Structure 1
Amino acid sequence: MSQIDRYFERYGPAYKWLATGTIMVATISVVLSTTIVNVAIPAVMGAFGMSAVQAQWISTGFLAAMTATMLLADWTNRAFGTRLTMNAAMSVFLAGSVLGGLAPNETMLTLARVVQGAAAGIVQPLAMIMLFKVFPPDKRGAAMGIYGVGVVLAPALGPWIGGLLMDAFDWRFVFYLGLPFAGLAILMSNLFLPSREESGPIPAFDFVGVAILSVFLAILLSTLSNAQRLGWESNIILAGFTISVASAIGFVAWEMNTAKPMLDMRLFANFAFSSASVVAFIMGAGLFGSTYLLPVFVQQIQGMTPTQAGLLLMPSGFAMLLVFPIAGRLSDKVPAPIMIALGMAVFAGSSWLMVAANVHTAFWTLAWWTVLSRVGLGLVFPAISSGALKVLPPHLLGQGSGASNFIRQLGGAFGVNLLTVFIERRTIMHADAFAATQTSDNATTMELLREVAGLMHAAGLPDTQLMPASASFLGRTVMIQSSNAAFQDGFLIVCGIFLLALIPTWFMWRVASSAT
């Protein structure tokens, strides 16, 4: 009798919900940290004097570390058991959260986020493994929907609570919000999660694979972040891209030839799984990229407080709360490609609407557009999770769970990084274009300068300072308009990314149709 069977014997049918509740609490603590910090980024930039590209490492460092460790979940589960692995991961996460709250500079803050991300990368694949162990195949889609309720409740409430904490105290308190959940997860995992099932020695660990993957992620993301500052054709940037390509090729070659691979390349021989992986990568890029963009946009362009930015995201979280269970049940009955295509199209439509966002766009208009995007994600997530794994044989289930999450997070890391670099470049481009039109021949510009000078004169500013102050106001206006236009370009890119995902979704449909 397996340990899972013994737990069912002890607790009865309710055990599957006790196990689900345990992994939901653990996941909530790490998901809170994934999204809540985005609300704090403008404040952190001000506290440490960081640029936007430097600040995005607070999010990208977390996602990159999470990506690198996701593939370890299957090995740690077999080597130490679910219970010990969860306890260790949540303990490391607790340490990273405390370090982030106490960080004296941006270097320590980024390190704390990397530590948090490394722990979070273990937790999410473990959750999927447990769901697939305690639920029968025909109930797994519904289980993913119920589990998803907890997953989306955290980002629904987290940014708002984080905003309240920031407005009442400061940005450091957002790091402490996940601590109670992490402590509760450790307690529940000791009660309801199984220890190691396998006897005998600990299986071999792919140290070389982890090292190569870490080099690939660190070098490529760092190179992309610094390319704008150092020059895309500079020697150090070209060397970074070369090392990244070489390490990516080396990782694939090593995993194909080593006896105990961290990522079993046999997974990708399954065309349905490969297609689902491409969709997951694109979904991760669009999801994490847009989740990063929106709070920064409304605070920098519209001047919202952190609390208002958090409130903006709350209705969308509750929309996903309603959609997830329904989508989970539908994914057990409706072919996964249909659910995925519909969700991707809805999210793309929402991003298309966001292209029109500017300083005058109403709060509830932005909230509605965000709700629409999360409805689309609610349709996609259960279908892509169950659809990717149900095509795999049982012995590849653990590997498939880690690989599916790994690919989605990899997309997220690149999505945040590339969109930040893209917006910085487009801001400079738009600023140059707008500045070129601000001449004495531009009647609108001259009228604006006269009106601003008149207002400042009425406020008591000396005549000698009127024109310099008016020119300074014009410069700030140009920069805000340039940044607004760049964010609009970013939302357009997100729209294109999700439309692009319809191509591999169609391949998934072809495979499913030919199988029947």
Structure 2
Amino acid sequence: MSAPAGPPDTGSDDKLDRGVLMVAGVVVLGAIMSILDVTVVSIALPTFQSEFNASVATVAWTMTAYTLALAAVIPITGWAADRFGTKRLYLTSLVLFVLGSVLCAFAWDIGPLIGARVLQGLGGGMLMPLGMTIMTRAAGPDRVGRVMAVLGIPMLLGPIGGPILGGWLIDVASWQWIFLINLPIGIVAVFAAWRVLPQDEPQPSETFDFVGMALLSPGLAAFLYGVSSIPEHGTIQATEVLAPAIIGLALVLAFVIHALRKDHPLIDLRLFLNRHLTIAVVTMSLFIVAFMGAGLLFPSYFLQVRGETTTMAGILLAPQGIGAMVTMPMAGRLTDKTGPGKLVLGGIVLIALGMGTFTQLEADTSYWLLLSSLFVMGLGMGMTMMPIMTAALASLTHGEVARGSTLMNIVQQTGGSIGTAVMSVILTNQILNNDSATAYYGAVQTHTIDQLPADIVGLGRSALAHAFGDTYLVAIVLVVLCLIPAFFLPRSKQELRTDPREEGEGEGEGDANQAPVVLH
């Protein structure tokens, strides 16, 4: 049963009650499916090539189509949540995602598989922003940090468990099971959401911003398509990269102009009048570009330099997730009590320290050193990502939470794509600048290492390791730059809960405290 809450009950600050935890469990189920699906499918790309006799470029569309569908649907989530209610929309998103998963499993060719991935993306794109909205409203402003920590669980499990689960399912069963595994999880998630989530009433909604939709969704999709094409072409100057990216940026810029002139735009850019949200968005943008881009390189090093299997590479990344699981619950509680500022600064420093090891990579760097460094980075990540989210959402009013969640997910999706593309291009250029690294890397890709002389293999592995290390230098610079905006994040509970608008400090504080919904 949901009811409007008055000022937060300080007695509820100590722990999350059973109702909020049940809501969190439902949201985590949906988020795990959505995030796992990205990394699980990435491991199956070679299998798709052989099964459907398709090229690498064609098979890559099973990833790209999903990402673009996510980007296209995220902008409408805030409006749709207000118009139809979060519970109804969340159930619809789950059904779409599960239906898309089943259709993927029964795809008879690469074309139908790509089409089914689009349907999956349309459902999956709404799950994360809706989940953030539901949990933020359920917990209230004084417990946002702790529920964000809970939502961080699938973000950790996806990159770590995806390659392991995908490789295992393909080995013991078939590629179809990387999609069919979503069916039982999805049925449980739908039933749990129907029983547990509060029945919120749709808000009296303004007319849908069709112009904004026509500008922003295709603009984001075109921009991300251009960015995601960079690794394939190896340069930003390729027409296949520049044309969609420039068109996408032009559409996004047109949306910004439109949104600033319209009373009720698809994404309310006036949210940036909230200083906390603005600083959090800038910090999150830099952090996602640096951390997600670097995250791409960890498994690649283990696979290409150390010759590990995909499953083992996933296992070797586990210390990072374990580290984050250690600090994330504590960071959630401390964020609610003291604000995110100091925690985020400490987390960024830990990430930079851990990543420093990877700037000195060799072909035989001690696994104990690497795994310890990953654990330290995980500790830092647990203190960083969700506290930044809390800084963005805690001071928003009830009516702004859905739009704020949507905005943060757009930032994450865009930043992740940019980071992945940038680090891929830097690594590729580092490899091409060294003949030994180029020869060894080519042999890895074509599975012809056995045909190379032993001395060439040794030189190639060492050169390739150095290429990874040089790429991590760029990543660590970006991580350190995150300290600048993070310095301005709220450093006290009172500052975090205040809604600082340009119209006057503290004017939104009452609304922010009155608006959230608490489950009883």
Q: TM-score scaled to structure 2, two decimals?
A: 0.80
1:269 aligns with: 273
Return the offset for 1:37: 3.4
Return the offset for 1:57: 5.6
1:207 aligns with: 210
In the alignment, structure 1 residue 316 sits paired with structure 2 residue 320: yes
Tell me the secondary structure at the aligned position of residue 507 of structure 1. Answer: coil
2:225 equivalent among 195, 219, 222: 222
1:488 aligns with: 469
Give the Cα–Cα distance (whole angstroms) in 1 for the partners of residues 104 and 456 of structure 2.
36
Return the offset for 1:237: 4.8
1:141 aligns with: 145
1:193 aligns with: 197
Return the offset for 1:433: 8.6
How many residues were matched structurally? Answer: 475
Tell me the secondary structure at the aligned position of residue 204 of structure 1. Answer: coil
Contact conserved, 1:160 with 1:314, CA < 8 A, in 2?
Answer: no
Return the offset for 1:486: 3.4
1:160 aligns with: 164
Contact conserved, 2:320 with 2:374, CA < 8 A, in 1?
Answer: yes
Return the offset for 1:190: 1.1
C-alpha distance 188-15 of structure 1, shift in aligned 2 (>3 A): same
Q: Which moved more, 1:79-88 or 1:488-497?
A: 488-497
C-alpha distance 249-163 of structure 1, shift in aligned 2 (>3 A): same
* Cα-to-partner distance string for 1:153-177 (whole Å, 9 max, x where unaligned): 4554443333322333455533333
C-alpha distance 417-116 of structure 1, shift in aligned 2 (>3 A): farther
2:73 equivalent among 69, 89, 94: 69
Contact conserved, 2:391 with 2:489, CA < 8 A, in 1?
Answer: no
Give the Cα–Cα distance (whole angstroms) in 1 for the partners of residues 109 and 183 of structure 2.
21
Return the offset for 1:263: 0.9
* Cα-to-partner distance string for 1:372-400 (whole Å, 9 max, x where unaligned): 22211100123112111123333322211
Q: Which moved more, 1:326-335 or 1:360-369?
A: 360-369
Structure 2 residues without counterparts, runs of 5 or longer: 6-15, 440-449, 507-520
1:459 aligns with: none
C-alpha distance 18-286 of structure 1, shift in aligned 2 (>3 A): same
Tell me the secondary structure at the aligned position of residue 434 of structure 2. Answer: helix
Give the Cα–Cα distance (whole angstroms) in 1 for the partners of residues 376 and 317 of structure 2.
11
2:387 equivalent among 372, 383, 386: 383
Give the Cα–Cα distance (whole angstroms) in 1 for the partners of residues 396 and 362 of structure 2.
46
Tell me the secondary structure at the aligned position of residue 71 of structure 1. Answer: helix
Contact conserved, 2:71 with 2:217, CA < 8 A, in 1?
Answer: no
Return the offset for 1:277: 0.2
Return the offset for 1:312: 1.4
2:251 aligns with: 247
Tell me the secondary structure at the aligned position of residue 79 of structure 1. Answer: helix
Give the Cα–Cα distance (whole angstroms) in 1 for the partners of residues 180 and 367 of structure 2.
28
2:443 aligns with: none
Return the offset for 1:74: 1.9
1:86 equivalent among 87, 90, 94: 90
Contact conserved, 2:72 with 2:221, CA < 8 A, in 1?
Answer: no
C-alpha distance 77-416 of structure 1, shift in aligned 2 (>3 A): same
Give the Cα–Cα distance (whole angstroms) in 1 for the partners of residues 261 and 385 of structure 2.
32
1:303 aligns with: 307
2:513 aligns with: none
Contact conserved, 1:320 with 1:374, CA < 8 A, in 2?
Answer: yes
C-alpha distance 357-173 of structure 1, shift in aligned 2 (>3 A): farther
Give the Cα–Cα distance (whole angstroms) in 2 for the partners of residues 56 and 345 of structure 1.
35
2:518 aligns with: none
C-alpha distance 238-383 of structure 1, shift in aligned 2 (>3 A): closer
Q: State the structure with more CA Rg.
A: 1
Q: TM-score scaled to structure 1, two decimals?
A: 0.80
Tell me the secondary structure at the aligned position of residue 361 of structure 2. Answer: coil
1:431 aligns with: 435
The alignment's C-alpha RMSD in Å is 3.5
Question: In the alignment, residue 489 of structure 1 is paired with which amino acid?
Answer: D
Richer in helix (by share): 1
Give the Cα–Cα distance (whole angstroms) in 2 for the partners of residues 389 and 297 of structure 1.
36
Q: Which moved more, 1:235-244 or 1:89-98?
A: 235-244
Question: In the alignment, residue 259 of structure 2 is paired with which amino acid?
Answer: E
Contact conserved, 1:83 with 1:194, CA < 8 A, in 2?
Answer: yes
Give the Cα–Cα distance (whole angstroms) in 1 for the partners of residues 426 and 111 of structure 2.
24
Q: Which moved more, 1:238-247 or 1:371-380?
A: 238-247
In the alignment, structure 1 residue 344 sits paired with structure 2 residue 325: no
Q: Which moved more, 1:99-108 or 1:327-336?
A: 99-108
Give the Cα–Cα distance (whole angstroms) in 2 for the partners of residues 357 and 101 of structure 1.
40
Contact conserved, 1:345 with 1:376, CA < 8 A, in 2?
Answer: yes
Contact conserved, 1:223 with 1:240, CA < 8 A, in 2?
Answer: yes
Give the Cα–Cα distance (whole angstroms) in 1 for the partners of residues 106 and 355 of structure 2.
36
Contact conserved, 1:354 with 1:366, CA < 8 A, in 2?
Answer: yes
C-alpha distance 260-484 of structure 1, shift in aligned 2 (>3 A): same
C-alpha distance 434-27 of structure 1, shift in aligned 2 (>3 A): closer
1:9 aligns with: none
Give the Cα–Cα distance (whole angstroms) in 2 for the partners of residues 22 and 408 of structure 1.
22
In the alignment, structure 1 residue 498 sits paired with structure 2 residue 479: yes
Tell me the secondary structure at the aligned position of residue 72 of structure 1. Answer: helix
1:184 equivalent among 184, 188, 193: 188
> Following superposition of structure 1 onto structure 2, how do residues 18-37 of structure 1 map, counting pairs within 5 Å?
18-37=22-41
